[in-house]
Chains A and B, each alone.
Chain A
Amino acid sequence: MNTMRIAWRNLWRNSRRTGITIVAMSLSTAVLIITYALMLGMMVQMEHSVTDVTVGQVQVHHRNYLKERSLYDTVDGWENILETARRDGIAAAPRAFGFGLLSSGNKSAGVQFWGVDPASEQQIGDMAKNLLKGTYLSGRPSMGVVLGRKLARTLHADVGTELVAVVQASDGSLGNELFHVRGILKSVGENLDRSVAIIDREDFASLFVLPDQYHEIALNSRGQLSPDEVAAKIRSSAGSNEVRTWRQILPGVSDMLNTSSGATMIFLVIFFLAAGLGVLNTLLMATYERIPEFGLLKAIGTSSWRILRDVSAEALVLGILSSILGGIIGTIVSLYFQYFPIDLSAFGEGFNTSGVVISAQWGALLTLRGIIWPIVIMWLVSVLAALYPAAKAARLDPVRALTHV
Chain B
Amino acid sequence: MRQVCGIAFFLMAIATFVPTSVLPGSEPVSSADILNHVDDLFRGSSSHATMVMKVITAHYTREMKLVAWSKGKDYSLVRILEPLKEKGTSTLKAGNNIWNYLPKVKRVIKIPSSMMGGSWMGSHFTNDDLVKESRMADDYTHSITFEGTREGTEVIELTLIPKPEAAVVWGKVVATVRKSDWIPIKIDYYGEKLGLERSMTFSDIKTLGGRLAPATMQISPADKPGEYTLVTYDDIEFDIALKDSLFTLRTLQNPEAL
Contact = CB atoms under 8 A, between A and B. Distances in A.
A adjacent to B, CB under 8 Å = yes
Interface of A: 72, 101, 103, 106, 108-110, 164, 166, 168-174, 176-178
A171 B107 contact: no
Interface stretch (B110-118, B193-201, B207-215): B110-118
Contact of A101 (B59, B60, B115): B115
B257 interface: no
B109 A108 contact: yes
Contact of A106 (B102, B110, B123): B110
Given A174-B89, A174-B102, A176-B104, A168 B110 contact: no
Contacts of A170: 59-60
A102 to B, nearest CB: 9
27 contacts: A101-B111, A101-B112, A103-B107, A103-B109, A109-B112, A109-B114, A110-B114, A164-B102, A164-B107, A166-B100, A166-B109, A170-B59, A171-B59, A171-B60, A171-B122, A172-B57, A172-B60, A172-B122, A173-B62, A173-B85, A173-B86, A173-B122, A174-B86, A174-B89, A176-B104, A177-B105, A178-B107
Given A164-B102, A166-B102, A174 B122 contact: yes
Given A101-B109, A170-B59, A174-B102, 19 more contacts: A101-B115, A108-B109, A108-B115, A109-B112, A110-B115, A164-B107, A168-B118, A168-B119, A169-B122, A172-B55, A172-B59, A172-B121, A172-B123, A173-B85, A173-B86, A174-B121, A174-B122, A177-B104, A178-B105
Nearest to A108: B112
B182 to A, nearest CB: 34
Contacts of B123: 172
B53 to A, nearest CB: 11
Contacts of B121: 172-174
Interface string B118-131: 11011100000000
A170 B62 CA distance: 11
A110 B112 contact: yes
A383 B1 CA distance: 73
A109 B85 CA distance: 26
Contacts of B57: 172
A110 B102 CA distance: 17
Nearest to B122: A172
